[in-house]
Amino acid sequence: MAFKPREPFIVTEPTPDPAAPAPRLKSAGREVEIKFLLSPATFRDAQQWELLRPTTLRPRARRLRSIYFDTEDGDLRRHKAVLRVRSVHRRHILTFKWNGTFAGGAFERGEMEVPTTSGNADPALLGSEIAQLIETICNGRPLQPVYETDVMRTAYLLHHGTSDVEVAFDKGRILAGAHACPICEIEMELKSGHPVDLYHLGISLTEAFPVTLGCQSKSERAAALYSGAKPAIIHAPKTMANAPNVDEAIGLSLNSCVSHFLGNWAAFQEGDRVKAVHQMRVAMRRMRSIIGVFQRSFPCAEFLRFRQQAKDIATVLGEARNWDVFIDLIRNGPLAVFPGEPGFEPLLIDAGMRQEAGYGIASAMLAAPETSRFVLAMQSFIGSHGWRNGPSGQNLPSLTAPADVFFSENLARIHRKILKSGRGFDRMTPHHRHDLRKDLKKLRYLVELFGDLFDLQRENKKYIRVVSLLQDQLGIFNDLAAAEAMIAKLNSGGEPAAIRAIGIMIGWCGRGATAGDAGLREAWKRFKKLEAIA
């Protein structure tokens, strides 16, 4: 067995992330909210939505002016916390919000609100716990108003399922210094009941109108406008240390994948889209890997559907990603060695056009209501523990098993499968090597996601390094094989210089495959030696 579970199993609190406060504040509440972006025309049409008609309460129309406070250095912003004073009909409400590890995943965060008699932000009004947290985050630096929002809100209170949900139509603007940007969105907030009803209502909206999930709050958009900073790239969150049994581990791991995927939407639109596409694709591939493990033990139709949808999304993202890798290979490979070859320029232009087309397809996919429905359906599935509803109830007791034991057994099973598949490694065809690489990637994803469940002693850390090395070595061959396929798509225009550049690239890929073969064999030998680790 490759990994050793903790003995005895101990439930521990998650390690605090210095970049995002996630305290378990005894006096704090939570907010579960989803946001949709839409055009002004759809904004008008959606107010005639048939699901709004049965409500017996007339919609409330209010002007909401919110002033957001932070230090000059943006300490609260960096810690993903928000402190604001909202003015409504001459009343003032002081609110503190923060991100953390919550069961609701990407759509849930901590929230504390208190009335105040003025527009000043006094943390002491929020209680000693939160006031001390804000003091710690800000390190004693003074708070000051930094940006504001001015919104006209028309809100409907709906009873959906067994829950009450506020559906708010917000139109206005964000003001940050000399900068401003419009707000046109729908917010759905759970007022009472179960989050699953909120997600179902959101799915109904995506079926009725061309809307897209909004992945940034008003405060995040205002902070970006104020600072000029681009949205950050989000890596996969680690939350497994607080999963004592399999049932909880399933929900936490799926939430991790959804949050990883959604967290990079803003960066795709306004930041480093190359890294964002890579991270979103990794999130979907991780989701497929872990669903495959869960489906094996707890089969259900929803797992199969979500796994296929994740594959479809990753495939769409893969077109842009493949051209990113290919262009990088040209620039840092043959072009760097042969900078005087004129034939590379038209090929890079052609590749760049195909890259842009790939990003256009990816952008359309993310904006499509179907993608928003996929995310909301996944959140509903997580919130309702849908994996408990499989056709066979005999495996349900296994959900209460310790999570570390479950994943240790599965990691060992995949490890054995890789060793068996790799027999005759030196004689393996490129196709079989690609299949082996996929199994290694699955093993690596599972180790990275569930590694917090194990005592990562020196031997196990070595195991992770060797798995990563072998997968990376196989990845080089995969990239070279993909490059050859993409070379065939390039249009040389019949120009001799471009044809010569294509020949150089083909030779470069062939040379890379030959040169890397020795390193690949050595990496495989190192992996085989790990079989006896316990």
Residue 511 near residue 458 (C-beta atoms within 8 A): no
* Side-chain half-sphere CA neighbours of 21 within 13 A: 25
Amino acid sitting at position 154: T
Residue 418 near residue 440 (C-beta atoms within 8 A): yes
User: For 34-38, what is the mean pLDDT?
Assistant: 96
What does the domain layout of the chain look like in residue ranges? 29-229, 285-390+401-532
Tell me: the pLDDT tens digits for 323-346? 998 999 899 989 999 999 999 999
**Does the domain at residues 285-390+401-532 carry the CATH identifier 3.80.10.10?**
no
Q: How far is the C-alpha of 257 from the C-alpha of 281, rounded, in Å? A: 10
pTM of the model: 0.87
**Does the domain at residues 29-229 carry the CATH identifier 3.90.1010.10?**
no
Q: CA separation (Å) from 49 to 42, 169, 201, 369?
A: 11, 12, 12, 16
Amino acid sitting at position 175: L
Identify the CA nearest to 94 among candidates 81, 106, 85, 104: 85
Structure tokens at 119: 């527009």
Q: How far is the C-alpha of 262 from the C-alpha of 254, rounded, in Å? A: 12
460: left (phi over 0), alpha (psi -120 to 50) or beta: alpha
Q: How far is the C-alpha of 220 from the C-alpha of 410, rounded, in Å? A: 40
Identify the CA nearest to 406 among candidates 244, 239, 242, 246: 246
Which helix (H) or strand (E) is 511 found in, with range?
A: helix 496-528
What's the confidence (pLDDT) of residue 456? 58
Widest distance between CA atoms in the chain: 78
Structure tokens at 215: 């992945």
Tell me: the pLDDT tens digits for 282-317? 999 999 999 999 999 999 999 999 999 999 999 999
Tell me: the pLDDT tens digits for 381-420? 999 999 998 766 677 788 999 888 888 888 888 888 888 8
* Secondary structure letter of residue 399 according to DSSP: G
Tell me: the pLDDT tens digits for 464-495? 788 888 877 777 777 777 787 888 888 877 78
pLDDT band at 128 (very low <50, low <70, confident <90, very high): very high
Amino acid sitting at position 117: T
